[in-house]
A = this chain, B = another copy of it.
Amino acid sequence: MSADAQAARNYPLNCWWVAAFADEVGREPLARWLLDTPVVLYRTEAGEVVALEDRCPHRQAPLSSGKLRGDAIECGYHGFQFGPAGRCLRVPSLPSPPPIAVESYPVQESGPLVWIYLGDRAQLDDVPPPPQMGWMTDPGFAIRKGTMEIAANYLLLKENVLDLTHLGHVHAASFGIMDWVNPPAVTTKGDTVTYRQEFVRSPLPAGYAMALGLEPGTPWNRVGFGTFVSPAAHESGTLFFDPAAPELPAGSNLFAHLTTPIDATHMHYFFVAARDHATDDSAMNQFAAILEAGFREDEEILCKVQALINRTPRRGSQGERSVKADAAGVAARRIVERWMARETIAD
């Protein structure tokens, strides 16, 4: 990482981040920049995920330029082979392999996600494990997922999903949720921050209503909530209540917004969406199409913000001004700073 990149870094290294969806990783090398680091991902013949530094220490070719040989990856330039632990296993021109290696990174596969740890190994035990989101594998839910590479800093998306007052402006045409106007209640607890918004007998947007088998605009109750789980993960959802039977939710939507920095101005965005109603394929496909449209709207505005930041310092002539609706986003920034401060102290 260059000195500039280091100075611009606003993400913790000692954190589990999502590297890929599990079904993206197989027996073809998958090259991906994560936290300013070139990484190659693949599976062993037994199906275990391997993550290595994607740079051969011999002459700097990406290992991903090559191919798998059993559980090893063979560089595409001179055929050096490295095993899952990163150790060089074979150099074709030598009788036995030299004592060289690439970095090997801890990974954890959990449901549809592959998590990676690119930080200081000595501190791994002190780092919170990848957050568990059991609903992703709960048979009561149908899920859809997707990934985008976005030309914006990852924190811009964190702030985006922590302040949903943008719904009526960015997503009027897609989600059609026009009643998210008031600042939600915000609760900070340790290194998490949660918002919660209640809607009482509020007309249901068309997408919500159809999935519940109701007429668009039917006045129902809802609770919207979302939690900054870690710098890598945001979890959110909506619970729907029939005002005539408000004890138990009549349906739930759940989301994970997972962001992994590529560098200071780019991120990988992985999203997972689930619901426990209207779970048939046709309805889910419609759901996925609306989500895709909406997340492209987020991408468009975030890229515009990043482009402006790239051309001018973030704080313009009038500084940056937060309002009450930013409470969760501002708390999230402080949490990220605490994650990063812990690294500094440990150094």
A residues at B contact (CB < 8 Å):
1-2, 33, 36, 38, 53, 55, 57-62, 65-66, 74-79, 91-94, 98, 100-103, 159, 163, 165-166, 168-170, 181-183, 301, 304-305, 308-309, 311-314, 316-326
Inter-subunit contact A79/B168 (CB<8 Å): yes
Tell me the complex Cα distance, A325–B77, Å.
13
Nearest B residue to A298 via CB reads B77
Tallying the copies of this chain within the complex gives 3
Write out the residue numbers on chain B whose beta carbons fall within 8 Å of the beta carbon of A313. Answer: 2
Tell me the complex Cα distance, A44–B97, Å.
58
A262 to chain B, nearest CB (A): 10
Q: Which of A33, A59, A313, A321 has the most CB of B within 10 A?
A: A59
Partner of A79, one of B165, B183, B305: B165
Inter-subunit contact A323/B169 (CB<8 Å): no
Nearest B residue to A307 via CB reads B62
Inter-subunit contact A60/B308 (CB<8 Å): yes
Partner of A317, one of B33, B53, B170: B53
Tell me the complex Cα distance, A346–B324, Å.
40
Tell me the complex Cα distance, A192–B251, Å.
74
